[in-house]
């Protein structure tokens, strides 16, 4: 565990040693505010909740999280520092977990900095803060799933642009899987149980329930399972690259 913490601290420090962290946070906060107050019609709805704020999170993460994840391993491979990292007295799994947790905490920090929106809705009305807490939890878990996918695909290539594109495509598929227009394609030739299984992969469906304040442990476990599977795949990819 100490090795994981060492990697975590190293990665977090690296974020704030360059303008990358500050640029990401500013872009994230500006886009969140724009989507909430302009596209989401926050004031026009005259309802004291943060539904317009969380509604756009899946689509916001679709591009911003892969932008963070694409550099996790692709940059290490391109610079050659990955060989040095993997020769240290740490396991591949510890390196994967440490880098992932650092990036996930960084995204969590950006999410936490949106607290003025939460304060605003409490000043304007009497929202159900329990629902808001559940939505924040769901948002962070969904961001972790996006990040785990992006990290794994970053390990598969030394080109950050390719890693970004692959991550966006795969994450987009996870978002689309629960939409009616997608499910209608499968209904004609697959049994309903299979169609329901495909719908169950949808990040939109899982996050939608959490954002409404419904904390179903199945949704929480789903995101944690997705994170675990892709981190395990990340480790396998690195082991294969190291063997070659």
- What pLDDT, on a 0 to 100 scale, did the predictor assign at position 196? 72
- What pLDDT, on a 0 to 100 scale, did the predictor assign at position 85? 65
- What pLDDT, on a 0 to 100 scale, did the predictor assign at position 78? 64
pLDDT at 238 exceeding the cut of 80 = yes
Confidence class for position 65, pLDDT limits 50, 70, 90: very high
Give the residue-averaged pLDDT of 40-61.
82
More confident residue, 79 or 17: 17
In terms of Cβ atoms closer than 10 Å to its own Cβ (0-12, 13-18, 19+), residue 224 is middle
In terms of Cβ atoms closer than 10 Å to its own Cβ (0-12, 13-18, 19+), residue 170 is middle
pLDDT tens string 83-130: 666 666 778 888 899 999 999 999 999 999 999 888 888 888 888 888
Residue environment code for 19-51, b if the CB has 16+ CB neighbours within 10 A, otherwise e: eebeebbeebbeebbebbbeebebeeeeeebbb
pTM: 0.89
Give the whole-angstrom CA distance, residue 183 versus residue 190. Answer: 10
- What pLDDT, on a 0 to 100 scale, did the predictor assign at position 101? 94
What one-character-per-residue DSSP string does 55-120 give? HTHHHHHHHHHHHHHTHHHHHHHHHTHHHHHHHSSS-HHHHHHHHHHHHHHHHHHHHHTTHHHHHH
- What pLDDT, on a 0 to 100 scale, did the predictor assign at position 164? 92
Mean pLDDT estimate for the chain: 84
More confident residue, 166 or 88: 166
More confident residue, 215 or 68: 68
More confident residue, 167 or 191: 167
Q: Count the neighbouring beta carbons within 10 Å of the beta carbon of residue 16.
A: 11
pLDDT at 189 exceeding the cut of 70 = no
More confident residue, 239 or 144: 144
Give the sign of the dihedral formed by CA 20, CA 22, CA 27, CA 28.
positive
169: DSSP letter: H
- What pLDDT, on a 0 to 100 scale, did the predictor assign at position 232? 95
pLDDT at 149 exceeding the cut of 70 = yes
- What pLDDT, on a 0 to 100 scale, did the predictor assign at position 102? 93
- What pLDDT, on a 0 to 100 scale, did the predictor assign at position 135? 92
- What pLDDT, on a 0 to 100 scale, did the predictor assign at position 44? 73
- What pLDDT, on a 0 to 100 scale, did the predictor assign at position 222? 92
């Amino acid at each position: 565990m100490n090795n994981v913490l060492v990697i975590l601290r190293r990665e977090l420090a690296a974020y704030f040693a360059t303008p990358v962290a500050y640029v990401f946070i500013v872009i994230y906060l500006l886009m969140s505010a724009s989507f909430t107050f302009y596209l989401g019609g926050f004031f026009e709805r005259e309802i004291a909740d943060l539904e317009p704020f969380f509604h756009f999170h899946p689509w916001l993460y679709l591009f911003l999280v892969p932008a963070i994840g694409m550099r996790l391993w692709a940059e290490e491979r391109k610079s050659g520092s990955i060989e040095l990292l993997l020769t240290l007295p740490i396991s591949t799994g510890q390196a994967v977990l440490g880098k992932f947790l650092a990036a996930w905490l960084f995204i969590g920090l950006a999410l936490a900095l949106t607290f003025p929106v939460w304060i605003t809705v409490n000043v304007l009305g009497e929202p159900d803060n329990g629902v808001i807490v559940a939505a924040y939890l769901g948002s962070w878990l969904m961001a972790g799933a996006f990040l785990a996918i992006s990290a794994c695909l970053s390990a598969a290539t030394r080109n950050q642009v390719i890693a970004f594109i692959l991550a966006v495509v795969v994450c987009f598929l996870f978002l689309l899987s629960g939409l009616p227009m997608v499910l209608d394609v499968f209904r004609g030739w697959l049994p309903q149980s299979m169609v329901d299984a495909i719908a169950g992969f949808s990040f939109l469906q899982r996050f939608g329930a959490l954002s409404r304040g419904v904390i179903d442990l199945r949704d929480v476990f789903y995101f944690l399972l997705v994170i675990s599977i892709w981190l395990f795949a990340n480790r396998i990819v690195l082991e294969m690259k190291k063997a070659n």
